[in-house]
Amino acid sequence: MKKQLYIYEIQALFDDVQRSEVFEDQKMMTDAVPLFPVEEINAKYEAEKQSENFNLKEFVLSNFDFLGAKISIQRENHLPIEEHIEKLWDELTRTAYEEKGTLLKLPKPYVVPGGRFNEFFYWDSYYIMLGLQVSGRVEMMENIIENCSYLIQNVGFVPNASRTHFLSRSQPPYFSLMLDLLFETTKDENIYIKYHNTLEKEYAFWMNGAEKLENGSAVNRVVKTIHGDVLNRYYDAENIPRPESYLIDIEDSENAGEEFYRNIRSACESGWDFSSRWFADGEHIQTIETLNLAEVDLNCLLWHLEKTLAKSSSLQKLNEKEIDYSERAAKRRQIIDQYFWDETSGTYKDYHIQKNTNTPSEHIAALYPLFLKIASEDQAKAVAKNIEEKFLYQGGLVTTTQNTGQQWDFPNAWAPYQWLGYQSMKNYGFDDLAEKIKNNWCSNVERVYKNTGKLMEKYNALDIETVAGGGEYPNQDGFGWTNGVYLKLKKN
C-alpha cells in the first residue's frame, strides 16, 4: 500500500496549477495520473516554465492523464426511477486493481457516489449498501466490506476515500454497521468471526493514545474530560491545505484561527464538510474549531463497534475480550448520556472539550442515539418532538437550523439522515413521523428525477417547486447514497 503522496513530489507544479485555477475545480489536478516519471515532469516544468509562450494548461494536459474525469451517464429514454437506479449500480461500479496517481489499489469492485468519481468512499458505501441489499446484490455488499477490511489491514483504517491524499483521516466508522447489514441479508454469523481482527484494528485506530491521556487533554481522536472520562473526536493527522480544495483552503485561512487546516480536515473526517456545527461563532468558517469538540455521532458509532466486538468475541468464546468490550460499551453508553444529552433543549448535542459544556448547535446527528437504540423512551420522545418541529420540511429533514450557505446546513436534506430519521422513529414506535420523513423526502427525489432524469447528491428541503430542487445543483450522474436510501425507504 503506497504511503507516499506523489502530489508532494510535484508540489511546485501542483501549487501553480491550483493557484492559477487551470481547471474548473481543484479535484481535477488531484486525480491526475502522471504519464511520465515524476522527476522527468519536474525537470521539464522547471526548464519550460520560463519560456515566453509557456502554457500551463497545455503542459499539464500533455504530461498527465485525467482518467474518468468526464464520465457521463446517458439515457435514451426516461426510465421509471427504480429501473434507472438498477442500471446505475453497474454504471457506477469501478475497479482499482493497480495504483494510478493518487488512486489506491483495492482487491474488489466497488460502487462510487457519482459518475465523475473513481475512488471508493467510506461512509457513502454503507448507504449504497442499503440499496444493494434491496436490489439483491449481495456480492457487491461483500465486495464493499472486503475493500474496507483490506484498507483497515493495510493502512490501519478506512481512509475518507481511496486516494493517497486521504491517508491522514478516516470517516464515520461504519464498518461494524456494514457487517450488521450483511448479516441481516445472509443470516450468517460467521461474518463477525471472519472480520473480528479487522474490527479490533479499526477500534485501535480510533482509540490510539487513550491510555496515556491525562484529564482535560486530547491526542489524535481521543479526549479525556476533566472528570477522567474518555470520549472521541474527529481528527486529521495533517495541518496543510487539502489538495482537493487547495486554493479554497488557502483563501479561507486568511484571518483564521490556529491549526485552521487541521480543523478543516477534521471536519471532513465527520463527512460534514462544512457546517455551522463546527464554527465557534456559528457562522464563519474562519472560526472552525472541530478539534475542540467531541461528537455525539462518532461516540455512538464507537459504542456500536464495541458492542460488535463483544459479539464477535462471544461467538469465538473469547471470554475475557467479550467482558472487556461489553464493559467498554456499557461505560460509553453511560457517558453518551452524561456528556451529549442536553436536558434543557431536549436533544443531543456535541460536547465542547475546553468549555466543558454542550455546544449551542442544534443538528440532525442527534438521531444517532435513537438509530442505535441508546436513548431512553423519554429522550426519544423529546428528540422526536424536536425533529418534527425544527428539522422536518416538505422536502425532507434538514441537517441544522442555521442557514450559512454551507452545504451541511439548512436548507439541505441529505440522504443518510432521511434513513437515520426514518429508522430512529420506527425504533421507538413513532410510525406516523417515520412515514412523514420517508414520504416528504422520497416525493422530493421523485419530483427532481421527473424534471431532470438525475438523482442528486443533496436536496433543498424547502424548495419543492423549481426544476432541480433550488437550482443550486449541477446535473450529476449518480448519486450513490441517494439511490441506496431511496430504494430502502420505498421498500419499507
Q: How far lies 56's CA from each of 11, 26, 33, 50, 376, in Å?
A: 15, 15, 16, 11, 60
In a 13 Å sphere around the CA of 235, the CA atoms on its Cβ side amount to 18
Question: Does residue 214 carry a catalytic annotation?
Answer: no
Question: Does residue 457 carry a catalytic annotation?
Answer: yes
Helix (H) / strand (E) element for 222: namely: strand 222-224
DSSP E strands in 86-202: the ranges are: 93-94, 110-111
Task: List CB contacts of 53: < 8 A, sequence separation 6 or more.
Answer: none
Residue 433, helix vs strand vs coil? helix
Catalytic: which of 289, 457, 463, 477? 457
How far apart CA 123 and CA 160 sit, in angstroms, is 8
Catalytic: which of 16, 25, 180, 273? 273
Task: List CB contacts of 310: < 8 A, sequence separation 6 or more.
Answer: 321, 322, 325, 326, 329
Residue 92, helix vs strand vs coil? coil
Contact assessment for residue 225 and residue 233, using Cβ atoms and an 8 Å cutoff: no
| C-alpha cell, 167 | 491517508
69: amino acid identity, one letter: A
Residues annotated as part of the active site: 273, 457
